[in-house]
């Protein structure tokens, strides 16, 4: 293969690659992106010599990490996107495309806002790393009572995190084997307490699928500073984006041995229709997107039928702009002035509201969200969002505003000057006990059809890191299938050439 191709693909040096450079140079990839962040991760499939076409059904890329600007210049978010320090694959991708400079590192402490403005902290700022910093954080937190803190420390000491220090592979096997029980069952069996779950772990689990790591906040809207650089990188490498193109049908045939292969995608944009063909097809979708895309006949295969056993969790994201600083608890005068931003500059959790995590974006991500002469821009994530999905936006805003006031009594008198509500019927897949075996590999039984998406099989939860890792794994499978894909293309070309003379016979007579 070409020198440096593995790094261009985003693959570690240890990944075996069987395809030769002459085979890679003529391959065309079609990446079907539908409401999912993995379009940003598929820059791994744009090395020199490839043709890459990315089709997105919406007018902007990024999927669940997407954002857009409304007619008044407000940045509308699809969710609260938090970058954790252990997201190594995501940071590697961001560095490759030049987006790493758009990160603002926050203090490694988890802040809990309780009813009445009482603040609790889980402070991981410690001279030593995991698991010692975690044990120290749980022993010193003021979010829990003394007994609960001690039991938390015991549970952490008995977790796979400690085993990973001496046996990383064994720790991962232990984690994978935990799929059949809930976190609560595991935590309580290791000595944790129900009060700890209610006051600390529930908000974190609802918010992010918690991993002990540094907290990092994006500088501003991901559409500009995350997916934007990724898009530029792909275009600079010769890739092409096709926005507002939806897939009507996956076209496929069966070979003489019964194998399935894709022959094209029937795409449409308004009144335009087109059949696109490639050597490899990647479906980078979320759960509802992939279910709509797959041909129903493919459900005869257990691999694809298992996907329909996965469901997404509804999420509602609410943004509230105020005429003052909501999270400034110490000084009422500073909370009312609009000359500079004041308040809690970090990701915030709460056990006392329907939004489990939130942040003041005007503080944490000021580049686009701090507006001179305006105050806090709270972004609150309602998870699970089931009770809120049928409600009118005005009712949702009233409920969330009331809960904000209960958390921050000092904000009494501040007014909401602008608001936004975004409802996603199925966002992250529901990681219920026993569901992990149904997550599909990126390589499918269809020879030239691959999957990507944070719901697919990889060792992270449904997250930006999981999406990135799934894209890297998909690119590895594609590269390893190089010889087979080239052979399939040659067979199809030979089949067409055999058919062509028959089609031309009437013209010769």
- At residue 30, the pLDDT reads 65
Are residues 344 and 412 both part of a single domain? yes
Distance, first Cα to last Cα, the chain:
49
> What is the reported pLDDT for 133?
76
Q: Whose structure tokens read 């894909």?
A: 485
Question: What is the arithmetic mean of pLDDT over 379-407?
Answer: 94
Is the pLDDT reported for residue 159 higher than 90?
no
Position 304 in a domain: yes
Specify if 120 maps to a domain.
no
pLDDT (0 to 100) of residue 209? 38
Question: Could you tell me the pLDDT band of residue 33, with boundaries at 50, 70 and 90?
Answer: low
CB atoms within 10 A of CB 497: 9
Domain assignment of residue 125, yes or no: no
pLDDT of residue 445: 98
The predicted model gives 94-123 an average pLDDT of 86
Say if CB 171 and CB 161 are below 8 A apart. yes
Whether 184 is in a domain gets the answer yes
Per the domain annotation, does 509 fall within a domain? Answer: no
**Residues 238, 185 within the same domain:** no
Give the model confidence (pLDDT) of 324-339 as tens digits. 999 999 899 999 999 9
Say whether pLDDT at 247 is over 90.
yes
Percent of the chain whose predicted confidence (pLDDT) is above 70? 80
Q: What pLDDT does 16 receive?
A: 27
Range(s) of the domain holding residue 32: 5-72+88-99+226-311+432-484
Q: Are 125 and 136 in contact (CB under 8 A)?
A: no
Strands (E), 255-332: 260-269, 272-276, 280-285, 315-322
Q: Is the pLDDT of residue 69 over 50?
A: yes
- The set of residues, in sequence order, having a beta carbon less than 8 Å from that of 113 and lying 6+ positions away, is 119, 327, 344, 348, 349, 350, 352, 407, 408
Query: Do 385 and 405 share a structural domain?
Result: yes
Distance, CA of 42 to CA of 476 (rounded, Å):
12
pLDDT category at 73 given cuts 50, 70, 90 is confident
Is 36 in a helix, a strand, or coil?
Answer: coil
> Can you tell me whether residue 453 is helix, strand or coil?
coil
Please indicate, yes or no, whether residues 395 and 466 belong to a single structural domain of this protein: no
Instruction: Return the pLDDT at 34.
Output: 39
Least confident of 4-18, 29-43, 62-76, 100-114: 4-18
- Boundary (domain end) residue, out of 375, 393, 424: 424
Residues 69, 75: contact at Cβ < 8 Å?
Answer: yes
Residue 495 lies in a domain: no
Q: pLDDT value at position 93?
A: 86
Do 414 and 380 belong to one domain? yes
- Domain CATH number, residue 328: 3.90.660.10
Mean pLDDT of 223-240: 82
- Distance from the Cα of residue 448 to its chain's centroid: 25
Q: Which residue, among 459, 501, 450, has the nearest Cα to 478 in the 3D structure?
A: 450
Predicted pLDDT of residue 5: 30
E strand intervals along 411-458: 416-424, 449-452
The CATH number linked to 265 is 3.50.50.60
Whether the predicted pLDDT of 107 surpasses 70:
yes
Task: Look at residue 130 in the predicted model and tell me its pLDDT.
Answer: 64
pLDDT in tens, 408-451: 999 999 999 999 999 988 877 777 778 888 999 999 999 999 99
Residue 319's pLDDT is what?
95
Report how far residue 194's alpha carbon sits from residue 81's, in angstroms, rounded to the nearest whole number: 28
How confident is the model over 195-219, as pLDDT tens digits? 888 888 877 776 653 222 222 233 3
Residues 261, 290: one domain? yes
Question: Is there a contact between 105 and 127 (Cβ–Cβ < 8 Å)?
Answer: no
Whether the Cβ atoms of residue 62 and residue 40 lie closer than 8 Å to each other? yes
The answer, yes or no, to whether residue 178 has pLDDT greater than 80, is no
Residue 387 has pLDDT above 90, yes or no: yes
Report residue 33 as tokens: 């992106």
What are the DSSP E strand ranges found in 156-221? 215-218
Q: What is the pLDDT of residue 176?
A: 74
Q: Are residues 40 and 179 in the same domain?
A: no
Mapping DSSP to helix (H, G, I), strand (E, B) and coil, where does residue 329 land?
A: coil
Question: In terms of pLDDT, which residue wins out, 5 or 400?
Answer: 400
Q: Give yes or no: residues 46 and 94 share one domain.
A: yes
338 and 371 housed in the same domain: yes
Question: How many domains is the chain partitioned into structurally?
Answer: 3
Who has greater pLDDT, 134 or 243?
243
Considering the domain boundaries, does residue 378 fall inside one?
A: yes
| 287 and 325 part of one domain | no
Closest CA to 144 of 114, 106, 186: 114
Contact 282, 338 (CB under 8 A): no
Q: Flag whether 494 is in a domain.
A: no
Instruction: Judge if 410 and 391 occupy the same domain.
Output: yes
What pLDDT sits at residue 497?
62
Is residue 241 classed as helix, strand or coil in its secondary structure? strand
Bridge-based pairing of strands 272-276 and 260-269 is antiparallel
Region 477-488: what's the mean pLDDT?
Answer: 90
Q: Which residues have C-beta within 8 Å of that of residue 487, sequence separation ≥ 6?
A: none
- C-alpha closest to that of 1 among 476, 430, 403: 476
Q: What percent of the chain has pLDDT over 90?
A: 38
Rounded Cα distance, 401 and 380, in Å: 10
Q: Are 124 and 132 within 8 A, CB to CB? A: no
Q: What does each C-alpha distance from 480 to 121, 257, 475 come to in angstroms?
A: 47, 22, 9
Domain identity same for 306 and 325: no
- Give the 3-state secondary structure of residue 184: helix
Tokens (6 digits) for 51: 């043709």
Strands 103-105 and 315-322: unpaired
For the ranges 143-147, 303-307, 493-497, the one whose mean pLDDT is highest: 303-307
* Residue 234 · residue 46 · CB < 8 Å: yes
pLDDT tens digit sequence for 290-303: 999 999 999 999 99
112 SS3 class: strand
The mean predicted confidence, pLDDT, of the chain is: 80
């Amino acid at each position: 293969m070409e020198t440096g191709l593995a790094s261009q693909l985003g693959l570690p040096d240890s990944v075996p690659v069987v395809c030769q450079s002459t085979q890679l140079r003529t391959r065309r990839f079609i990446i079907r992106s539908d409401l999912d962040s993995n379009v940003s991760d598929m820059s791994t499939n744009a090395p020199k010599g490839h043709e890459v076409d990315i089709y997105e059904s919406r007018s902007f890329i990024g999927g669940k990490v997407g954002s857009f600007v409304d007619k008044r210049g407000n940045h509308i978010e699809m969710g609260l996107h938090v970058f954790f320090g252990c997201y190594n694959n995501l940071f590697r991708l961001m560095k490759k495309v030049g987006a790493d400079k758009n990160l603002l590192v926050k203090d490694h402490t988890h802040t809990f806002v309780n009813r009445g403005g009482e603040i609790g902290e889980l402070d991981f700022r410690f001279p030593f790393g995991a698991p010692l910093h975690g044990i120290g954080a749980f022993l010193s937190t003021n979010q829990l009572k003394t007994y609960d803190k001690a039991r938390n420390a015991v549970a952490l000491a008995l977790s796979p995190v400690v085993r990973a220090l001496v046996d990383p592979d064994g720790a991962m096997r232990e984690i994978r084997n935990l799929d059949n029980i809930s976190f609560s069952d595991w935590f309580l069996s290791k000595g944790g307490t129900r009060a700890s779950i209610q006051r600390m772990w529930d908000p974190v689990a609802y918010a992010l699928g918690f991993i002990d790591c540094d907290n990092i906040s994006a500088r501003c809207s991901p559409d500009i500073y995350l997916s934007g650089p990724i898009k530029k990188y792909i275009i600079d490498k010769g890739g092409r984006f096709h926005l507002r193109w939806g897939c009507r049908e996956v076209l496929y045939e069966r070979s003489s041995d019964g194998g399935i292969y894709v022959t094209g995608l029937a795409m449409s944009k308004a009144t335009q229709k087109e059949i696109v063909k490639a050597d490899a097809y990647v479906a980078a979708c979320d759960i509802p997107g992939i279910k709509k895309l797959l041909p129903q006949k493919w459900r005869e295969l257990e691999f694809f039928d298992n996907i329909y056993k996965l469901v997404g969790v509804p999420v509602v994201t609410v943004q509230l702009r105020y005429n003052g600083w909501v999270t400034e608890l110490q000084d009422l005068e500073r909370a009312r002035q609009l000359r500079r931003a004041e308040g809690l500059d970090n990701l915030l959790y709460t056990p006392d509201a329907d939004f489990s995590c939130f942040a003041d974006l005007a503080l944490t991500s000021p580049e686009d969200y701090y507006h001179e002469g305006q105050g806090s821009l709270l972004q609150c994530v309602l998870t699970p969002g089931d009770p809120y999905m049928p409600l009118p936006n005005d009712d949702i805003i009233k409920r969330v505003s009331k809960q904000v006031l209960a958390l921050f009594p000092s904000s009494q008198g501040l007014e909401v000057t602008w608001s936004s509500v975004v409802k996603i019927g199925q966002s992250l897949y529901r990681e219920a006990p026993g569901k992990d075996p149904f997550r599909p590999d990126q390589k499918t039984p269809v020879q030239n059809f691959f999957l990507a998406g944070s719901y697919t099989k990889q060792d992270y939860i449904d997250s930006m890191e999981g999406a990135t890792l799934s894209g890297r794994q998909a690119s590895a499978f594609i590269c390893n299938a190089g010889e087979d894909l080239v052979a399939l293309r040659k067979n199809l070309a030979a089949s067409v050439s055999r058919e062509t003379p028959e089609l031309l016979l009437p013209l010769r007579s």
